[in-house]
Structure 1
């Protein structure tokens, strides 16, 4: 459960308010993020997008070391032995962004809320994909699934995604975020095997793990988990009014109480462990992205981790 508290200055590249125009945001990212990524990744975006955009070529029996995400469960059930799918790569990749725009995504400092980081991340990755001839689409969730943007290519499509994201209102407090609705919409909408980015803070009512796991069986799924440092550790600033980011419930607390701060941090750490285990069970790669982290460094770090995982998989 996210709590709002005193603000703090963000670090790294400043993110303008989301009232900026789509063209302005994309131009800024092309110059200050994508150009840096080109230099650091040296065009090797396969370390980030490896294994995606593929068509089924054949089936064979499972062998030790195979990626369990490629197990064909229907064939396995019929044959009574595990079978895995083999794929040939397409020239064209289709990617989808499943985007959580629920009330807790508006937490953060004035110019570095989780929503603003979401917009920067989506625009950056969408442009990296579309400039190489790939297609991108999106499903937008607030208090319900509000919009499905069909997958298309080109810079114009990135601008359309930005336009639709910027026009999404900040929602009044709701009893619970139902992230499962977003994930189930992905299951029902996306038929062809694709690359999926689930972008959320994963502050949600229970029930989202199962559809996430089902998605990972059909698609390559990356979980982009957004968070703010104040959700993990409270500063000592005396009496503050804390507000639940989902329900609006308020509570006066004394952040000068060391035991309260320790209990808060312990609860946050427990949630980190639970989320990591949930992503592992679902078979998805998570990227933890802070509102105070430089976006370029975060993406390069993620690409490096995926490259290591690919090498380990090949060695196995």
Structure 2
């Protein structure tokens, strides 16, 4: 019997990992593996070989030493270094447990993380993760391979989220300090905090950062159901709210739009992309559109 309803048992975790593996491997390989491959640039160009010069070859790449030795022009051939490092910054705070339509934010975060992890390992890339609330809950260094992706899923599924507040800033700072080479970072969060603009700007100047704002329909619209006692999932604070009051519902909606506009502005100024995914939406379509747009 579980003592904490927010944590899965070992048996449940193994079952979920298997389900995630089957679902995400199919999505990663069949739906947008090609788009993922071409959406992100490698670290640079590496030397592959020397071959005879052909008309049209860039004369800057002529190997003059080899050409002199054989009394015939030879060109250096380069290829793009495709190996990438993908880091997943995953919000595991209590607000991720919210979900009134479709799935909870935590479930969507986990599924998207699994798809991105398998897309990375399928392309021979390294993948790692930073699980955070208002502090770093777990750091998983980037590695290659299916077993590493499965380990990442097990850790994420076993992570408790109850009574944990959110702070993206420490996670971004930790990411910047632990990843010296350029990486691709996906931030999976509802972005309910606002104090991360400077940290994102620094991370965005060194890395390719993509935010995925996961939100529930109730984050945007408060239903008209009369007096309702609500509890802040992160602080535990409770209060009564008159949902029948139009002004209360309007102010609630405006706060959501304020947070959304702030996130859009912060990511834009940092030169980073931000996607919005509702818990009852098809996140694969959103990701696929994004990857395709990167290739244009």
- TM-score w.r.t. the length of structure 1 is 0.73
Relative to structure 1, is the Cα distance of residues 142 and 272 closer, same or farther in structure 2, using a 3 angstrom cutoff?
Answer: closer
3-state secondary structure, aligned to 1:148 = strand
Match of 1:170 in 2: 161
Larger RCO (CA within 8 A; separation ≥ 6): 1
CA distance in structure 2 between the aligned counterparts of 1:304 and 1:44, rounded to whole angstroms: 6
Match of 2:119 in 1: 128
Contact kept in structure 1, 2:226 and 2:242, CA below 8 Å: yes
Match of 1:181 in 2: 170
Contact kept in structure 2, 1:55 and 1:193, CA below 8 Å: no
Correspondent of 1:293 among 281, 285, 288: 281
Post-superposition shift, 1:290? Answer: 1.2
CA distance in structure 1 between the aligned counterparts of 2:229 and 2:293, rounded to whole angstroms: 39
Relative to structure 1, is the Cα distance of residues 26 and 111 closer, same or farther in structure 2, using a 3 angstrom cutoff?
Answer: farther
Answering whether residue 213 of structure 2 is matched by residue 230 of structure 1, we say no
Match of 2:40 in 1: 50
Number of corresponding residues = 253
CA distance in structure 1 between the aligned counterparts of 2:45 and 2:197, rounded to whole angstroms: 26
Correspondent of 2:268 among 280, 287, 300: 280
CA distance in structure 1 between the aligned counterparts of 2:243 and 2:30, rounded to whole angstroms: 39
Larger gyration radius, structure 1 or structure 2: 2
CA distance in structure 2 between the aligned counterparts of 1:188 and 1:244, rounded to whole angstroms: 32
Post-superposition shift, 1:104? Answer: 1.2
Match of 1:30 in 2: 25
Post-superposition shift, 1:46? Answer: 4.2
> Per-residue CA shift, 1:118-175, capped at 9, x if unaligned?
100010011011111111011111342122111111111110110110111123254x
For residues 230-309 of structure 1, the aligned pairs below 5 Å read 230-307=218-295
Post-superposition shift, 1:110? Answer: 8.4
Correspondent of 1:196 among 185, 188, 197: 185
Correspondent of 1:104 among 92, 95, 100: 95
3-state secondary structure, aligned to 1:112 = coil
The alignment yields a C-alpha RMSD, in angstroms, of 2.3
Contact kept in structure 1, 2:162 and 2:234, CA below 8 Å: no
3-state secondary structure, aligned to 1:278 = helix
Answering whether residue 201 of structure 2 is matched by residue 210 of structure 1, we say no
Structure 1, gaps ≥5 residues long: 1-16, 58-87, 312-316
3-state secondary structure, aligned to 2:162 = coil
CA distance in structure 1 between the aligned counterparts of 2:154 and 2:19, rounded to whole angstroms: 11
Contact kept in structure 1, 2:13 and 2:158, CA below 8 Å: no
CA distance in structure 2 between the aligned counterparts of 1:297 and 1:121, rounded to whole angstroms: 12
Post-superposition shift, 1:92? Answer: 1.0
Contact kept in structure 1, 2:110 and 2:153, CA below 8 Å: yes
Post-superposition shift, 1:285? Answer: 0.5
Relative to structure 1, is the Cα distance of residues 275 and 18 closer, same or farther in structure 2, using a 3 angstrom cutoff?
Answer: farther
- TM-score w.r.t. the length of structure 2 is 0.78
Contact kept in structure 2, 1:173 and 1:248, CA below 8 Å: no
Post-superposition shift, 1:56? Answer: 8.5
Match of 2:16 in 1: 21
Match of 2:140 in 1: 149
3-state secondary structure, aligned to 2:35 = coil
CA distance in structure 2 between the aligned counterparts of 1:18 and 1:281, rounded to whole angstroms: 39
Question: Which one is further off, 188-197 or 257-266?
Answer: 257-266
